[in-house]
């Protein structure tokens, strides 16, 4: 259903244009939409190295409007406010952060599901933000999404075959019914679902199996990039591992590139090569997984790492907890300077409140902190921070309203 969300609305856009329907065949440039394109093409891609995705100074601002008859824009929620990142081909980029930090919005903006306010997103050398809708639509075949809640992102009235075939039809993959069926059966097999699943409906499956259907739906089009937004957080712990392993295996087998968005650091750490930590719409630190765990440089990353419970009493008892004071400030009215300075135990009076730190390279990490080195060397000591009150109402309902039509399962 949600994948339908990805492709179907754009299909409608096109249908409203004259001749839209004849297009897909014409502009299906990236080779072999006819056969089950993915494989051959992916082979070609993996030979080329480099980055599959490059994001430059991406911003997504949602207007906050007030007023009864005429809406006045009274401010903006800066959900994503200047993010740079690149994802190498065949690797996994993990994006972590707490709720409201803009990680999901970033993922959606990357796929152009939420139009970015400014900035560039380059996918395999093609600039997406300026791509005309019909080209964008055929591009979508190569970038797919896996959603958090498999129950609400699968249409309860579609059986599995119909869910999977929808994307194939929309992109004109597979010559006839039999060819499509073959593609679908192969995909089902790849995600570990039995063949009889084809005629079943989502409610007949368990949570883990439903998520497999969601993965199959993304996979069936033979994409290069998969954006997985909280792929396991709705699942039971014993099932999480199955899905995490499946994602790993698929990557090894098909050379997929992942952007995994999750709040669970342990999951992200397990699956990612590089991890980006977001706080209030911006990356505060980006580092290889090991490095981030062993030597987090940004104070927020340190606090985050120390807050994640580890299922081992020995570790738990020895760990030093950095407790952050208060809640995440409102993204509509973020603190000046370093966004973290209101809660930062290492905040300094000199630069933190006035000057917004930029990501800079330290070793193999990128950190946005003025005092990363002295903190790492222990020269600066943490101090006590008093909690400042954050009001949820400041965060505004508007982002919800703006993004509602593209929310899973809600398109009208």
Partner 1 sequence: MALLDVEDLSVTFRQRGKRTVRAVDGVSFSVDAGEVVGLVGESGCGKSVTSLALMGLLPRQPGISVGGKADFDGTDLLRVDRRAMRDIRGRDVAMIFQDPLSSLNPVIPIGRQVTEVLTRHRGLSGDAARKEAADLLDRVGIPDPTRRLKEYPHQLSGGMRQRALIAIAVACQPRLLIADEPTTALDVTIQAQILELLKALVRDSGTALVMITHDLGVVAGMCDTVNVLYAGRVVETARRRPLFAEPRHPYTVGLLNSIPRLDAGRGDKLSPIPGSVRDVLPWADGCAFAPRCDRQVEACVGEPPQLVLTHTDRTYRCVNPVPAVGSAPAVAEPAVEAGPGPAAEAGPESGPVGPVAEVDPVAEEKQSSVPAPREEESA
Enumerate binding residues for partner 1 (CB under 8 A). 98-99, 206-209, 236-242, 244-245, 248, 263-267, 269-273, 289-290, 293, 303-317, 321, 323-324, 326-328, 386-393
Helical spans, DSSP H, in 220-287:
237-254, 265-271
Q: What are the CA-CA distances from residue 211 to residues 67, 195, 295, 406 (Å)?
A: 41, 16, 34, 19
Name the minimum Å distance from CB 161 to partner 1: 22
Task: Tell me whether residue 6 or residue 193 sits nearer to partner 1 (CB atom).
Answer: 193
DSSP characters for 268-280? HHHH-SEEEEEET
Only one residue has tokens 């997985």, namely: 228
Q: Could you give the CA distance from residue 116 to residue 106 in angstroms, rounded to a whole number? A: 9
Name the minimum Å distance from CB 68 to partner 1: 21
Helical spans, DSSP H, in 171-236:
177-190, 207-219
Task: Tell me whether residue 23 or residue 327 sits nearer to partner 1 (CB atom).
Answer: 327
Task: Tell me whether residue 20 or residue 207 sits nearer to partner 1 (CB atom).
Answer: 207
Task: Tell me whether residue 23 or residue 248 sits nearer to partner 1 (CB atom).
Answer: 248
Q: Please, what is the Cα angle at 147 between 10 and 116, to 5 degrees?
A: 50
Task: Tell me whether residue 128 or residue 268 sits nearer to partner 1 (CB atom).
Answer: 268
Q: Is 199 helix (H, G, I), strand (E, B) or coil?
A: helix
Q: Could you give the CA distance from residue 46 to residue 243 in angstroms, rounded to a whole number? A: 24
Task: Tell me whether residue 9 or residue 207 sits nearer to partner 1 (CB atom).
Answer: 207
Q: Is 257 helix (H, G, I), strand (E, B) or coil?
A: strand
Only one residue has tokens 């580092």, namely: 287
Region at 372 (left for phi over 0; alpha for psi -120 to 50; beta for the rest): alpha
Task: Tell me whether residue 303 or residue 367 sits nearer to partner 1 (CB atom).
Answer: 303
Task: Tell me whether residue 57 or residue 236 sits nearer to partner 1 (CB atom).
Answer: 236
Name the minimum Å distance from CB 207 to partner 1: 7
- Backbone φ and ψ for 295, nearest 5 degrees, come out as -135, 75
Name the minimum Å distance from CB 247 to partner 1: 11
Q: Which long-range contacts (CB under 8 A, 24 or more apart) does 34-42 make?
A: 34/173, 34/175, 36/173, 36/174, 36/183, 36/186, 36/222, 37/141, 37/173, 37/222, 38/221, 38/222, 38/223, 38/254, 39/222, 39/254, 41/222, 41/224, 42/222, 42/224, 42/254, 42/255
- Tokens representing 181 are 């069926």
Q: Are 219 and 167 in contact (CB under 8 A)?
A: no
Task: Tell me whether residue 135 or residue 263 sits nearer to partner 1 (CB atom).
Answer: 263
Contacts of 61 (CB under 8 A, 6+ apart): 76, 77, 78, 79, 81, 117
Name the minimum Å distance from CB 231 to partner 1: 12
Name the minimum Å distance from CB 25 to partner 1: 41
Task: Tell me whether residue 263 or residue 351 sits nearer to partner 1 (CB atom).
Answer: 263
Q: Could you give the CA distance from residue 310 to residue 398 in angstroms, rounded to a whole number? A: 37
Name the minimum Å distance from CB 44 to partner 1: 26
Name the minimum Å distance from CB 395 to partner 1: 9
- Local structure of residue 159 (DSSP, 8 states): -
Query: Dihedral angle at the C-alpha atoms of 305, 307, 311, 312, nearest 10 degrees?
Result: 80
Name the minimum Å distance from CB 104 to partner 1: 14
Name the minimum Å distance from CB 12 to partner 1: 36
Name the minimum Å distance from CB 229 to partner 1: 16
Task: Tell me whether residue 179 or residue 239 sits nearer to partner 1 (CB atom).
Answer: 239
């Amino acid at each position: 259903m949600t994948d339908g969300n990805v492709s179907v609305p754009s299909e409608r856009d096109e249908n409203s244009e004259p001749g839209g329907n004849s297009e897909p065949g014409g502009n299906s440039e990236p080779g072999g939409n006819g056969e089950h394109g993915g494989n051959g093409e992916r082979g070609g891609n993996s030979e080329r190295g480099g980055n599959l995705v490059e994001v430059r100074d991406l911003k997504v601002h949602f207007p906050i409007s007030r007023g009864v008859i005429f809406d006045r824009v009274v401010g903006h929620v800066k959900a994503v406010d200047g993010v740079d990142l690149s994802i190498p081909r065949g690797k996994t980029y993990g994006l972590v952060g707490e709720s409201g930090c803009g990680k999901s919005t970033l993922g959606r903006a990357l796929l152009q599901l939420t139009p970015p306010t400014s900035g560039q997103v380059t996918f395999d050398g093609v600039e997406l933000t300026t791509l005309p809708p019909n080209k964008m639509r055929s591009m979508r075949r190569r970038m797919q999404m896996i959603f958090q809640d498999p129950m609400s992102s699968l249409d309860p009235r579609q059986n599995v075959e119909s869910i999977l075939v929808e994307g194939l039809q929309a992109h004109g993959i597979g010559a006839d019914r039999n060819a499509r069926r073959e593609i679908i059966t192969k995909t089902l097999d790849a995600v570990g679902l039995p063949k009889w699943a084809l005629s079943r409906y989502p409610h007949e499956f368990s949570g883990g199996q439903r998520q497999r259907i969601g993965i199959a739906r993304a996979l069936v089009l033979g994409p290069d990039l998969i954006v997985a937004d909280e792929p396991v957080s709705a699942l039971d712990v014993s099932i999480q591992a199955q899905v995490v392993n499946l994602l790993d295996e698929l990557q090894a087998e098909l050379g997929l590139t992942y952007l995994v968005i999750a709040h669970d650091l342990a999951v992200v750490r397990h699956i990612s090569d590089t991890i980006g930590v977001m706080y209030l719409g911006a990356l505060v630190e980006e580092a290889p997984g090991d490095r981030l765990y062993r030597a987090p440089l940004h104070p927020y990353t340190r606090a985050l790492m120390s807050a994640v419970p580890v299922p081992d009493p020995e570790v738990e008892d020895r760990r030093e907890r950095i407790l952050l004071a208060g809640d995440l400030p409102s993204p509509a009215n973020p603190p000046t300077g370093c966004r973290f300075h209101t809660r930062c135990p290492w905040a300094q009076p000199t630069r933190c409140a006035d000057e917004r730190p930029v990501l800079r390279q330290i070793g193999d990490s990128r950190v946005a902190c003025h005092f990363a080195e002295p903190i790492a060397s222990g020269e600066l000591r943490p101090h006590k921070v008093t909690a400042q009150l954050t009001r949820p109402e400041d965060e505004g309902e508007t982002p919800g309203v703006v993004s509602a039509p593209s929310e899973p399962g809600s398109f009208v």
